[in-house]
A = this chain, B = another copy of it.
Amino acid sequence: MFHVVRSSAVPLADQLVEELSSLIESRRLAEGTRLPSIRLLARRAGVSAFTVTAAFEKLLARGLIESRRGSGHFVAVRRELKMPVEVELGPPVHADPGIHFAHSATDARDIRVPAGAGFLPASWYADAIPASALSKMACSAATQGRAPSQGDGALRELLAQRLHLEGVPAAAHNIVVTAGASQAFDLIARKLLAPGDTVLVDDPGYFVLPTQLKARGLQLVSVPRCPDGPDIGALEEAARLHRPRMFFTQTLVHNPTGVSASPANCHAVLSLAEKHGFLVVEDHVYTDFATSHRVSLAQIDELRRVLYVGSYSKILSPGMRVGFLAVAEALVAPLIEAKIVSVLTGSALIECVLREVLASGTYRKHVQRLRDKLASARSRAVERLREAGLCIEHVPSDGMFLWARLPSPLDAEELAAHARRTGILLAAGPMFSISGGSRDYLRFNSAYAADPLLVSFLNERRPLIAQG
């Protein structure tokens, strides 16, 4: 009856689970049947009692058998429910192109080349978190209790130390831990802004942010992004005309252009913030990709007008949603309140793993490896894209993004729609622009942009490009 294969890669317990569940599901073992005792079954199958117990636990977890105290295990009585038909649904189509992109980039199974994606290949993160850091957490009382709403205290100390090294003066009490930068933006929009307020955003800029801000009923005004930072003239005019409450910007390793603002530009932005009385939310999601030390708004301003948004989800592990806000002391309590109202608190397990990785020095090494990989991927990608006729005016020295212009008459959205049908995900310019600009731009991810499938897709369109 029970036939286990010792040489199989499938664990013995799983082989038993397989065999028993097929007997139960085919009703060869009828509902209510008493199963042989663990000892008897172990003897018949030629395995240990421990193996049978493990198999029974899994069958119990799946509800296929029941345990009755003192009298053993029985095939469970099955409920017949009118189940909804299980269908293979693609991700739903969202009206907002940014939301649709964010959703399908991770959830769609038909993407072969995620050339426009905002994340690196999973394999690049393989060594980021050592197994020892995780198994250590299982024995740590800190991960068994609830994390403080503000975030683990020891983690906040470490983050403050790291900010200090960046030249940003923050103490642990200035920091609120969040589930990535997205949650940080959400908390700011919920609590520090009111519906109807006007805010400024980079154009082009990170594409989910405008949708987050609009969902809160905010009025958005775009500030063109130049290679050396926000367009100062346009920023001044927007500040004068619209009296904005905040400016959301990304100084270092800007998404999607990949370039960083100049120190002079930083100074001009802050001067305008002071003159016109707006706050600046500075997105530091890609800062650790920067190979050399760069000047940021938070450094110059020392957290008076600047709210610093950090994240480890892009660099340490996309599988851990963890970031933080570093802000002036007066803003801490309202942000904690917004966090309690939306998610109560964060996951202590995630916060403790990050703490461990930061303290041990693992993070520093991992970042160095990523930068090295990106540097060589970037030069390969630039070469291939240029060969295919695309123009990259400013090749960034850091990070994953390349902002490439298509020669006319090619339209980025049309090209992306074609590419999608062959399993290539492209990120079309207009998605990054609330003014609907950048129609002839694409954002590429260096890690995927030299993929042969993409390169041949682009080269097939060369005749079109050459005509244009």
Contacts and interface: CB of A to CB of B under 8 A. Distances in A.
Interface of A: 54, 56-58, 60-63, 79, 81-87, 89, 91-92, 94, 96, 99, 102-103, 106-107, 119, 122-123, 125-126, 128-135, 137-139, 141-150, 161-162, 164-165, 167-174, 179-180, 182-183, 186, 190, 208, 211-212, 215, 302-303, 313, 317-322, 329, 332-333, 336-337, 340-350, 352-353, 358-365
A299 to B, nearest CB: 9
Given A212-B341, A336-B92, A360-B58, A170 B84 contact: yes
A353 B137 CA distance: 12
A288 to B, nearest CB: 13
Contacts of A133: 138
B86 A172 contact: yes
Contacts of A150: 91, 107
B144 A122 contact: yes
B84 A208 contact: no
B359 A58 contact: yes
B364 A61 contact: yes
A321 B146 CA distance: 9
A173 B99 contact: no
Given A170-B84, A171-B86, A183-B343, A63 B165 contact: yes
A83 B171 contact: yes
Contacts of A141: 122-123, 126
A162 B322 CA distance: 29
Contact of A333 (B83, B94, B161, B208): B94
Contact of A131 (B138, B346, B362): B138
Shortest 5 CB-CB distances between A and B: which pairs? A57-B361, A319-B348, A131-B138, A92-B333, A135-B135
Given A179-B347, A344-B182, A81 B319 contact: no
Contacts of A99: 337, 340-341
Contact of A61 (B85, B174, B360): B360
Nearest to A358: B61
B321 A106 contact: no
23 contacts: A57-B360, A57-B362, A58-B361, A63-B164, A79-B165, A79-B167, A81-B164, A81-B168, A87-B173, A103-B336, A106-B145, A107-B149, A122-B141, A179-B179, A179-B343, A179-B347, A180-B343, A186-B342, A215-B341, A319-B348, A319-B349, A320-B348, A321-B345
A76 to B, nearest CB: 8
A79 B302 CA distance: 13
A343 B186 contact: yes
B138 A103 contact: no
A342 B321 CA distance: 12
A348 B349 CA distance: 12
Contact of A145 (B122, B135, B148, B322): B122
A96 B358 CA distance: 35
Given A60-B364, A83-B164, A146-B119, A318 B103 contact: no
A92 B337 CA distance: 10
Most buried by B among A103, A132, A142, A146: A146
Contacts of A313: 146
Contact of A361 (B61, B167, B336): B61
A180 B344 contact: yes
A145 B171 contact: no
Given A340-B103, A340-B208, A131 B135 contact: yes
Contact of A183 (B143, B342, B363): B342
Contacts of A146: 106, 119, 313, 318-319
A106 B147 contact: yes
A239 B287 CA distance: 53
A290 to B, nearest CB: 16
A360 B60 CA distance: 9
B169 A145 contact: no
A129 B348 CA distance: 13
Contacts of A126: 141, 144
A340 B185 CA distance: 12
